Structure 1
Amino acid sequence: MTVGLNKLLVKAVVIVSFAAMTACTAGTVYYDYRHTVQTGWDKGDTLVFSVPRVATAGKYREVVCMRTTGAFPFTGVTLVVEQQSVPRNIVRSDVLKCTLTDEKGNVNGKGVSLYQYEFDLCDIDLNGGDSLNIRIRHDMKREVLSGISDIGVKIVKCD
Structure 2
Amino acid sequence: MKALTAILLSGLLCVACTGNKVYDHYNHTPIGGWEKIDTLKFDVSPLKKSGLYATSMGLRINNAFPFISMTLIVEQTVLPANKTVIDTINCPLVDKNGRVKGKGVGFYQYHFPVSLMTLHENDSLHITVRHDMKREILPGVSDVGIELERKK
User: Which TM-score bucket, shorter chain as reference?
Assistant: 0.7 to 0.9
Quick one: which amino acid aligns to residue 147 of structure 1?
Answer: G
- Structure 1 CA distance, aligned partners of 2:51 and 2:144? 25
Q: What is the TM-score when the length of structure 2 is the normalising length?
A: 0.87
Per the alignment, in what secondary structure is the counterpart of residue 155 of structure 1? strand
- Structure 2 CA distance, aligned partners of 1:65 and 1:98? 10
Per the alignment, in what secondary structure is the counterpart of residue 149 of structure 1? strand
Residue number in structure 1 paired with 2:11: none
1:108 to 101, 105, 110: 101
Per the alignment, in what secondary structure is the counterpart of residue 142 of structure 2? strand
Unaligned ranges ≥5, structure 1: 1-24
Q: Cα offset for 1:49?
A: 0.3
Residue number in structure 2 paired with 1:67: 60
Residue number in structure 1 paired with 2:90: 97
Per the alignment, in what secondary structure is the counterpart of residue 98 of structure 2? coil
Identity %: 44
Residue number in structure 1 paired with 2:36: 43
User: 1:24-65 CA distances to partner (integer Å, 9 max, x unpaired)?
Assistant: x83100000000000100000000000111100000000011
Q: How many residues align?
A: 135
Unaligned ranges ≥5, structure 2: 1-17
1:146 to 120, 133, 139: 139
- Structure 2 CA distance, aligned partners of 1:106 and 1:26? 32
CA root-mean-square deviation: 0.9
After TM superposition, which residue ranges in structure 1, 4 or more long, deviate above 4 angstroms? none
Quick one: which amino acid aligns to residue 70 of structure 1?
Answer: N
Residue number in structure 1 paired with 2:25: 32
1:122 to 101, 115, 126: 115
User: 1:63-120 CA distances to partner (integer Å, 9 max, x unpaired)?
Assistant: 0110000111100000011110001111111110000010011110011111000100
Q: What is the TM-score when the length of structure 1 is the normalising length?
A: 0.83
- Structure 2 CA distance, aligned partners of 1:70 and 1:41? 15
Residue number in structure 2 paired with 1:19: none
